[in-house]
Structure 1
Amino acid sequence: MNVLQGIAAALTPAGLLWTLLIIGIATFLHELAHYALARWQGVAVKSFSIGMGPILFRRPWGGTEWRLSLLPIGGYVEIDGMAPQEGPGGVYRQPTRGFAALPALGKVAVLFAGPLMNLLLAVGLMTAMFTSQGVPAPDRARVERVLPNSRAQALGLQNGDVIVALDGRPIPETYTVGGQTRAGWESVRDALAQDGRKTLTLERAGQRRDVTFDWQARVGGQQQRLGIQYGPDVRSATVPVALATSLRTTAQAVPQVLRAFGNLFTRFLTLNLSPDENVSGPIGTAEVVSRAAAVSGWALVQVAILLNLSLAFFNLIPIPGLDGGRILLVLVGTLRGRPLTLAQEQAINVAGFAFVMLLMAFVVVRDVGRFF
């Protein structure tokens, strides 16, 4: 009972509704892209479902049965020629029409359209956010909060101050530590990890002032805190600048997302159930959305961006059962000069689907395990 109480305390009704809405929109657009690319090439789509499992509502329209299903854990489109055809005597054979009759490029286009749609949605949301809120300025650190009774408060720092230089040197856009490239504003933390006389050049209401003080990084073995919460400053941006920043941010996110998925697979194969902040299950996702809903609409937009990026990259992983796995099978068949046999393809897809289901179960178990 304590576990259920813990889960209930972490979630809010508004957070649950926003979670269903964000995931529902991401899923709908993902499947709609598959549907559109198939129909554009003249391939029939038998059904289109939001949700999985028992069908709650169905309505035929435009040659497709549109469905709403019970379990809000994804969706699917039933494209003609993807599944085996039933032949005489109930024997199934390799399909020869619809999707199966498309050239390799046409098949890849149908499969790639879903992840691409989520990627475009994330970029579009980022562009809207950067246009409205401004783009990050990595060479400027904005003080978001000065903690009460802190050294920073005694020095006269205020919320909204912008640190533009350290010890008389402008903050760079990037710097390298231990082979890792970081945004320049993070250098404030590294500067305060060293003893000595410090000078922060602040910008406030269009004017600059220097704050100089003696600093001891550790006292009695304890790391000292200046007492500020800070992050990158922002600059106003036109739509083209916001779009360019969105594309650059997406490209920079690729290695981070791949590392997170790689870490997840490693933990899954070693049955490591320890908490991992980089990958969340359904409960963790709803918890994040609940917190974001309590902050602002733009916080929800940021969560939607992350969910769409994750959905896009995850679906492109070359595991049978995912879009990336299906693309891989198409490419293998093209290189061989002939498609895989029905038995080979079914065996690979069943194994891939089982792996994905076990992986999802692992994520859910680890998600729930946080409350024990």
Structure 2
Amino acid sequence: MNVVQSIGAALTPQGLIWTVILFGIAVFLHELAHYALARAQGVSVRSFSIGMGPVLLKRQWKGTEWRVSALPLGGYVEIDGMAPEDDGQGRARQPTRGFAALPAWGKVAVLLAGPLMNLVLGIGLMTASFSAQGIPALDRARIEDVQAGSRAQTLGLQAGDVIVAIDGRDLPETRVVGGREAPGYEGVRDALAQPGPHTFTVERSGTPRDVRFDWQPSVGGERQRLGIRYGPDVQPAGIGTALSTALSTTAQAGPQVLRSFAALFGQFFTFDLSPDENVSGPIGTAEIVSRAAELGPWALVQIATLLNLSLAFFNLLPIPGLDGGRILLVLVGALRGRPLSFAQEQAINFAGFAFLMTLIAFVWLRDVARFF
């Protein structure tokens, strides 16, 4: 299979459309939050663009030029007083009005609004998913399907059975595999990689029973399959439980997301193009969305949740050019009792922007390198 065929096998037109929609909504609401907090403090916003690059459509409304731009991924707002001013002689100077005239807390509020919007949206989507679908119990593996004529059917396993223990040991919530955390229910796969006798403790209609069998992962060089499809068990939840679980899940996800970004930076500085399933580029993201689109609307909701949480955490990183980097500069100025000089701030922001553009190019390159 050549490169084009390989990409085509994973991407679908429906998936590409949903990628643009999900990412577009996340970015639009992010920028809308910046816009709202600036306007609430009396700061004008010159333009608000959905998309990047050349402007396709524009309309003036409430003192802001609202734009639709050619590149569908991304967006921006031009807040008065955030970019350098023209001194009248063709030279840039430190702005003195609008955003620049706000107190430190006002600036932080404008900058923090975008990531907080994505964070709130991600938690809200997760709460809706848990409330509608239930909360996954990672320490219990529910058998979703048993293949006809398989070893599993011979052993008497049925769809709806819940595996709660393997070889006398309860399944953990999470386990460490290859240096990363993995759901405990995937321990079923680990057990089937080991030859010998096994015992699955299975709950059926609330009654436990032991299923004992001898197992060989391969016979004559051919991989053996038990013949089950499984996933985490799901417990029903009300709104309150769904919200509290969403909050705790987000708190737990934060460090994991940051470790993923740290690994990405490590790969960037060593120019390691090996794929990383924890951080996807645009092609990888479109592939994931394509698969989710085939599974149904709740799978897309889960992808939207992850996308918004990732945007929130990434934008809060203290890197110049990101909201977190700008917040850091504001706080440094507040601690010094005066803002950084125009030259200092320009140099820092330029370096941060150059780093981000290089990092984005690296992610694109790593994404494409997977197909070779």
**TM-score, normalised to structure 2's length?**
0.91
SS of the counterpart of 2:210? strand
State how 1:287-306 maps to structure 2 within 5 Å.
Answer: 287-306=287-306
State how 1:135-150 maps to structure 2 within 5 Å.
Answer: 135-147=135-147, 149-150=149-150
SS of the counterpart of 1:110? helix
**Counterpart for residue 358 of structure 2:** 358
**Counterpart for residue 370 of structure 1:** 370
- Unaligned segments of structure 2, at least 5 residues: none
1:240 aligns with 2:240: yes
> How many angstroms apart in 2 are the aligned matches of 1:144 and 1:114?
40
> How many angstroms apart in 2 are the aligned matches of 1:6 and 1:227?
28
**Counterpart for residue 331 of structure 1:** 331
Contact 2:152 2:226 in 1 (8 A): yes
Contact 2:197 2:212 in 1 (8 A): yes
State how 1:218-367 maps to structure 2 within 5 Å.
Answer: 226-367=226-367
> How many angstroms apart in 1 are the aligned matches of 2:348 and 2:209?
65
SS of the counterpart of 2:89? helix
Contact 2:79 2:99 in 1 (8 A): yes
> How many angstroms apart in 1 are the aligned matches of 2:324 and 2:281?
21
Amino acid at match of 1:138: L
> How many angstroms apart in 2 are the aligned matches of 1:27 and 1:350?
22
Contact 2:58 2:67 in 1 (8 A): yes
State how 1:171-210 maps to structure 2 within 5 Å.
Answer: 171=171, 173=173, 184-189=184-189, 197-210=197-210
1:352 is displaced (CA, Å) by 0.7
> How many angstroms apart in 1 are the aligned matches of 2:281 and 2:176?
33
**Counterpart for residue 126 of structure 1:** 126
1:347 is displaced (CA, Å) by 1.1
Amino acid at match of 1:282: P
Shifted more, 260-269 versus 20-29: the winner is 260-269
1:262 is displaced (CA, Å) by 1.1
> How many angstroms apart in 2 are the aligned matches of 1:152 and 1:310?
39
1:295 is displaced (CA, Å) by 1.3
> How many angstroms apart in 1 are the aligned matches of 2:350 and 2:370?
31
1:13 is displaced (CA, Å) by 1.2
Identify if the C-alpha distance between structure 1 residues 195 and 291 changes in structure 2 by more than 3 Å, giving closer, same or farther.
closer
- Equivalent pairs counted in the alignment come to 372
SS of the counterpart of 1:276? coil
Identity between Structure 1 and Structure 2 (%): 72
SS of the counterpart of 1:88? coil
State how 1:86-165 maps to structure 2 within 5 Å.
Answer: 86-147=86-147, 149-165=149-165
Identify if the C-alpha distance between structure 1 residues 187 and 294 changes in structure 2 by more than 3 Å, giving closer, same or farther.
closer
Identify if the C-alpha distance between structure 1 residues 318 and 179 changes in structure 2 by more than 3 Å, giving closer, same or farther.
closer
> How many angstroms apart in 1 are the aligned matches of 2:71 and 2:175?
47
Amino acid at match of 1:82: M
1:9 is displaced (CA, Å) by 3.5
> How many angstroms apart in 2 are the aligned matches of 1:25 and 1:277?
24
- Unaligned segments of structure 1, at least 5 residues: none
SS of the counterpart of 1:145? strand
Give a deviation string over 1:242-263, Cα, whole Å, max 9, x none: 0111111111111221121111
State how 1:211-222 maps to structure 2 within 5 Å.
Answer: 211-215=211-215
Contact 2:20 2:73 in 1 (8 A): no
Shifted more, 194-203 versus 133-142: the winner is 194-203
Amino acid at match of 1:156: G
**Counterpart for residue 26 of structure 1:** 26
> How many angstroms apart in 2 are the aligned matches of 1:52 and 1:147?
49
SS of the counterpart of 1:335? helix
**Counterpart for residue 71 of structure 1:** 71
Give a deviation string over 1:187-213, Cα, whole Å, max 9, x none: 545555666654333223454433233
Identify if the C-alpha distance between structure 1 residues 284 and 327 changes in structure 2 by more than 3 Å, giving closer, same or farther.
same
Amino acid at match of 1:84: P
1:370 is displaced (CA, Å) by 2.0
1:358 is displaced (CA, Å) by 0.9
Identify if the C-alpha distance between structure 1 residues 9 and 175 changes in structure 2 by more than 3 Å, giving closer, same or farther.
closer
Amino acid at match of 2:52: M
Shifted more, 122-131 versus 89-98: the winner is 89-98
Give a deviation string over 1:31-85, Cα, whole Å, max 9, x none: 0000011111111111111111110111111111111111122111101110112
